[in-house]
Each structure stands twice: as C-alpha cells, then as structure tokens.
Amino acid sequence: MSIILDHINYIYSKGTSEEIKALDDICLEIKNGDFIGLIGHTGSGKSTLVQHLDGLLRATSGHIYYDGEDIYDDGYDMRALRGKVGLVFQYPEHQLFEEDVFKDVCFGPKNMGMSDKDAELAAYSALRSVKLPDDLFFVSPFELSGGQKRRAAIAGVLAMKPEVLVLDEPTAGLDPEGRDEILGLVRELHDKEGITVVLVSHSMEDVADYAGHIIVMDKGRVLMDGTPKEIFSHIEELEEIGLAAPRVTYIMHELHRRGFNVDTSVTTVKEAVDSVIGALWNA
Amino acid sequence: MLREMTLGQYYQVESRLHRLDPRVKLMGTLVFIISLFVSQKAVCYAVATVFLICMIKLSKVPFGYMVRGMRAIVMIMMITVVFNLFLSPGEALVTFWAFTITKEGLRNAVFTAIRLTYLILGSSLMTLTTTPNDLTDGMEKGLGFLKIFKLPVHEIAMMMSIALRFIPILLEETDKIMKAQQARGADFESGGLIRRARAMVPLLVPLFVSAFRRANDLALAMEARCYHGGEGRTKMKPLKYKAWDVRAYVILFCYLALVVLTAIVSPV
Ligand SMILES: Nc1ncnc2c1ncn2[C@@H]1O[C@H](COP(=O)(O)OP(=O)(O)OP(=O)(O)O)[C@@H](O)[C@H]1O
Ligand SMILES: [Mg+2]
C-alpha cells in the first residue's frame, strides 16, 4: 500500500465569483504502516485533502497514485478504492441511518460486495475492536451517547477492512476520556493490525502523542513535513500560522531558560518526565 | 455537485441591480412576468428580450452561471414543449403515424418555451441579486398592507426567510452525508429506479434527523433571545427608497407601457 499525491490542486466553486483555492500544489507520499498526523489552522484544507484520498473529490489538476495506479484513469474502480481507504468524516455519527447499530455497520461491507455472512462477521469484529458494549449492538443508533455513536460510525468504516484509515478530527466534541479512548483505539489498530493511519487534528498533543510523522498545512499548502521533533522545533513558524507546539514543549523551553539542562525538543509528557528526571539527577 | 445548483441562490457581486431596494426588484419581476403574458406578438417578445439582456448585463452575474441553473428545469420545459407541439388543434403542417404538428402547435411550443425561459431567467435574476434576508424584508414591507386583513405577514416572511436560509445549509449537509455514505461504498448514481430510490434511504434518514435537530436548535436559540413574533419589532436597517429606486420604478413603468403599446399597435 502506498499513496502518492502528485501536484494536487483543488478549487471549490470553479467558474464562479466565489472560487476558493483549497489545495495548492500538494505533493505527498503516504507509505505502508505510517501513522501520519495532519495539522493546520481551521480552513487550511485538511478535510479537502483527505477527501481526495478516496476519490470523493476530484482534483482540479494533478494525479493521485494508489499502489502505483492513477486513480483518475478511466475504468479505475473507485468503489474498491473507497474500501481500501477508509475515510471517517468529521462528526461521523451524522451518517448513521439504520434501524440498529449492527445493520448500520454492515452497510459498508455489503456495499463492497461481501456476502451477508462475511459482512456480518466483519461488522462484528469491527464493533468488537471499537469496544462498543455487546448489549448496544442491536439498539437504534440514535439512542447511543455521542461517544458511542462515534465509535459505531468508526466501526462502520473499519468493517470494510481498509488498508488505510483516514480520520478527520475524530475527537472533535468528545471529553478527554472519550478522546483518549478513540485515539488509543486508533493506535491499537495501527500497532496490532498494521493499518496505515492518517489522523487529522487540531490538537498538537494528539498528534505529538500518537503520530510518527506530521504534515503541517497552511492556506492549502504543505508547509512542513517531518517527525514530531523536527516539526515542533519550529515553534515560531507554527505560531505564525496560528498553531502551537504541545504544551510540554513550552514547559521544557521555559525550564531551559531558567537554567535547567533539559531537552527542549521533547514533545510528549512521557519524554518530558524522563528528561526532567535526568536533568535533576545530573544537577 | 449539489452546490452547482444555482437556481434561486444569491450571487455575490457589486452591481446596480444588487444595490436596488428589494421591493423594486420584486415589483420588477412582477412587471416582467406580466409583460410576458400581455400578448403573443413577436415584437413584444423582442422588447422583453432586449429588456432582459440589459438587466442581465446590469446585474454582472455571468450569463453562463445563470444558464447552468436552468438545467434543473430542462425536463419540465421539454414536456410542455412536446405537449404544445402535438396537442394543439389547427392547420396541419406535418403528419406522421398518429401525430400531427400544426402551425398553431409550433407557434405555441416556441412561445411557451420562450415564456418559460424568460420567466425563470427573470425570477432567478431577482434571487441572484438579492440576499434572502433582503428578499423577505422587501416582502414583509411590500405586503405589509395585508396586515389589515389579519394576515400574519411578519410570521410568513420570517418562515420564508428561515426556509431560504436553510436551503444552502441543507444542501451542504446533503453533500456531506452523501460523501460520507459514498466513503462507505454507497452508490447513488447507477441502477434502476427502485434501486436508486432505495439508495436514497442512507441519505434521507440522516438528513431528516439533522434537519429536525437544526430546527430544534434554532427554535431554542430564537426563544432564548426572546423572539415573540412581529408585534412591536423594529428593523436594524429599515428599507428606504433612494434616488435610483425611484428611477427604476420609472424605467419599469416605461417598459410595461412600451410592451402594451407595441401589443396594441403592432400587427404581428
Ligand atoms: N464544500 C465547499 N464549498 C466551497 N468551499 C469550501 C467547501 N468546503 C471547504 N471549503 C473551503 O475550502 C477551504 C478549506 O476547507 P477545509 O474544510 O478543507 O478546511 P479544514 O482544514 O478541514 O478546516 P477545519 O479544521 O475547520 O475542519 C476553506 O477556505 C473553506 O472555506
Ligand atoms: Mg475539516
């Protein structure tokens, strides 16, 4: 599995007075097994970009290659692509529609042409892996709580057995606990089942904690592309475009300024703890 | 794709027409529609055509954009044209199998097509140049005299403005849900009628749920801000006629007079 974006441009409402250039010459590569964090200020084009990955939006110009095949070629099987690239939209719970949760989760795999039995099996294991309690499988999706709905919706995508899971702000509107659960779940899918993950987020903590690779977008362009350490060492540039580094990075900078010999490139709380202990030990 | 529907949507651009008082534009649309039905003489249509072209030029809305909005009604147009063409009695022109095209039928079909097109172009010119808010303001004020017949003009205008306001929101929502379901492999485009109708379920259920949720939120938000109907309500920007509005009324009157005159005087 690999996805290559080659000079992708996208313009909304093309040919009217309200043209908006949402993507500007995007070149990217997503490799097998990556855990990518996609960050950017609101309106920077993150959602637009991820909708290109499974062909829901067609680039105004440029090409996208999935496993070396151009997805814009005539006769390319878009539906199969949408099975391989599982896209979880912002507020995915708004897509639930069936009488019960289980049927709703079956919707995707059935569309992928699985037999009823296979679809039900896939739905069952997807619901298990999002850790939705068993007694909720057969209630109406509209009776679930917000966090449970979100999990059911994510299961609806997972049940298609995607190779790449793309999540557009999966934690928006959840409490810290719900946030940790969803992200923990995504990490588990990545680590245990080897699914490639693209995580769109507003929260620097989220991506610093979970992603191995970060892409920063600004005004439809890719501004930076690198490991969390590389990205968050450019605090000033991030602040210029309305973003920030994780809070622990600021704390480490402040400690350093006050004369502690700590590592300022730290991005997660765990690393920070180690570095602070190390500094105190040596002092 | 749904956002491509331009019929009845506002087009943001700076123009003389955009700046006119909404009441003038409402009246103008009315006058234009009346002028189309004054007579069936070709000269009258020529006058209407010139008027319409001038107005479209004045509005600065790209013509291609307007025409694209017309695609939605091509079907209706075809049906009326075909009915007119074959079902008008009169002097036969062509006959084949069970169908006869008459001279009157041809004439009717052509004029109906022109009338329908102008009707839609004319009224969409109004919605393209007037924001929904202005439009309902204009209606509320322009139809205010109906209050003496105990008609709840304000409430009707408010309902209209909410409905209009919700069209783009619901379109956007439809677009989003459609994409979310397509991401799960839903197919809205292929298959027969029944298959397609069934394929709408995953779209319509979430759409209704969200429409009700929004309606509920809006009702709460309005009540929280003490909305209590039109009684004693003042406007932030009361409508006032300016010099150009008066001139526009004069132009409208001249136009209508011209159409009526040509209808009386011209032989064809
Ligand atoms: N359906 C649409 N029609 C027209 N313009 C749009 C549409 N969707 C997004 N845009 C515009 O494209 C730009 C990028 O939007 P996008 O939704 O991709 O941003 P985002 O990075 O996902 O923002 P957020 O963090 O708020 O979700 C914005 O300027 C937005 O106004
Ligand atoms: Mg977004």
**Chain-centroid distance, C-alpha A275:** 29
Structure tokens at A11: 């313009």
User: b vs e for A6-39, b when ≥16 Cβ sit within 10 Å of the residue's Cβ?
Assistant: eebebbbeeebeeeebbbbebebebeeebbbbbb
Closest ligand 1 atom number to CA of residue A169: 27
Q: In this predicted structure, what is the pLDDT of residue A209?
A: 87
**Residue A48 beta carbon below 6 angstroms from any ligand 1 atom:** yes
Q: In this predicted structure, what is the pLDDT of residue B187?
A: 86
Q: In this predicted structure, what is the pLDDT of residue B7?
A: 58
Task: Round to whole Å and give the CA distance between A178 and A194.
Answer: 23
Structure tokens at B123: 């009224």
Task: Round to whole Å and give the CA distance between A278 and A274.
Answer: 6
If asked whether residues B41 and B114 sit together in one domain, one would say yes
Task: Round to whole Å and give the CA distance between A16 and B65.
Answer: 7
- Cα distances from A272 to residues A253, A278, B210, in angstroms, run 11, 10, 44
If asked whether residues B160 and B252 sit together in one domain, one would say no
If asked whether residues B126 and B20 sit together in one domain, one would say yes
Q: Do residues A36 and A215 lie in contact, with contact meaning Cβ atoms separated by under 8 Å?
A: yes
Helix axes A176-193, A146-158, angle to 10 degrees: 20
**Residue A51 beta carbon below 6 angstroms from any ligand 1 atom:** no
If asked whether residues B81 and B30 sit together in one domain, one would say yes
pTM of the full predicted structure?
Answer: 0.77
Task: Round to whole Å and give the CA distance between A107 and A99.
Answer: 12
The tens digit of pLDDT for each residue in A18-28 reads: 789 999 999 99
The tens digit of pLDDT for each residue in B167-180 reads: 888 888 999 999 99
If asked whether residues B8 and B110 sit together in one domain, one would say yes
**Residue A201 beta carbon below 6 angstroms from any ligand 1 atom:** no
Q: Do residues A220 and A24 lie in contact, with contact meaning Cβ atoms separated by under 8 Å?
A: yes
The tens digit of pLDDT for each residue in A28-39 reads: 999 999 999 999
Residues in chain A with CB shorter than 8 Å from the CB of B64 are 15
Starting at the edge strand found earlier in the chain, the sheet holding A2-12 runs A20-31, A2-12, A61-66, A69-70
Q: Give the domain extent around B81.
A: 1-130+239-268
If asked whether residues B138 and B199 sit together in one domain, one would say yes
Residue B6 has pLDDT above 70, yes or no: no
Q: In this predicted structure, what is the pLDDT of residue B155?
A: 86
Q: In this predicted structure, what is the pLDDT of residue B62?
A: 87
If asked whether residues B22 and B61 sit together in one domain, one would say yes
Q: In this predicted structure, what is the pLDDT of residue B154?
A: 86
Task: Round to whole Å and give the CA distance between A178 and A150.
Answer: 10
Query: Region A243-248: what's the mean pLDDT?
Result: 88
Structure tokens at B234: 């003042």
Closest-CA residue of chain A to B2: A13
Output phi, psi for A201, to 5 deg.
-155, 155
Under the banding of pLDDT at 50, 70 and 90, the label for residue B42 is: confident
If asked whether residues B146 and B62 sit together in one domain, one would say no
- Cα distances from B206 to residues A141, A155, A230, B3, B265, in angstroms, run 11, 17, 42, 19, 59
Tell me the Ramachandran region of residue A69: left when phi exceeds 0, alpha when psi lies from -120 to 50, beta otherwise. beta
Our count of domains for chain B comes to 2
Check residue B100 and report its DSSP letter. E
If asked whether residues B39 and B53 sit together in one domain, one would say yes
Q: How many CB atoms lie within 10 A of CB A263?
A: 16
Task: Round to whole Å and give the CA distance between A105 and A121.
Answer: 11
**Residue A148 beta carbon below 6 angstroms from any ligand 1 atom:** no
Put simply, the answer to whether B177 touches A54 (Cβ < 8 Å) is: no
Structure tokens at B53: 């072209």
What ipTM goes with this model?
A: 0.87
- Atom 31, ligand 1: which residue's CA is nearest? A43
Average pLDDT, chain B: 86
Query: Region B197-221: what's the mean pLDDT?
Result: 91
| A266 Cβ contact partners less than 8 Å away, ≥ 6 residues apart | A248, A249, A252, A272, A275
Q: How many CB atoms lie within 10 A of CB A95?
A: 28
If asked whether residues B28 and B121 sit together in one domain, one would say yes
The tens digit of pLDDT for each residue in B252-268 reads: 999 999 999 998 888 77
Q: When comparing pLDDT for B70 and B203, which is higher?
A: B203
CA torsion, ordered A129, A130, A132, A137, to nearest 10 deg: -70
Q: Do residues A154 and A130 lie in contact, with contact meaning Cβ atoms separated by under 8 Å?
A: yes
Q: In this predicted structure, what is the pLDDT of residue A8?
A: 96
Mutate to test the interface with A, among B184, B189, B190, B214 (most CBs of A within 10 A): B184
Residue A192 has pLDDT above 60, yes or no: yes
Across-strand partners of A77? none
Q: CA nearest A16: which of B173, B1, B66?
A: B66
Under the banding of pLDDT at 50, 70 and 90, the label for residue B1 is: very low
Residue B4 has pLDDT above 60, yes or no: no
Task: Round to whole Å and give the CA distance between B133 and B45.
Answer: 32
Average pLDDT, chain A: 92
Task: Round to whole Å and give the CA distance between A54 and A87.
Answer: 7
The tens digit of pLDDT for each residue in B111-139 reads: 888 888 899 889 889 988 998 888 888 88
- Atom 25, ligand 1: which residue's CA is nearest? A42
Give the best-scoring range by mean pLDDT among A153-162, A235-244, B81-90. Answer: A153-162
Among B181, B185, B210, beta carbon nearest to A83 = B185
CA angle B65, B69, B75 (to 5 degrees): 145
Q: How many CB atoms lie within 10 A of CB B141?
A: 18
If asked whether residues B165 and B247 sit together in one domain, one would say no
Structure tokens at A122: 């896939």
Put simply, the answer to whether A82 touches B187 (Cβ < 8 Å) is: no
The tens digit of pLDDT for each residue in A64-123 reads: 999 999 999 999 999 899 999 999 998 898 899 999 999 999 999 999 999 999 999 999
If asked whether residues B124 and B19 sit together in one domain, one would say yes
Output phi, psi for A212, to 5 deg.
-95, -10
Q: When comparing pLDDT for A40 and B4, which is higher?
A: A40
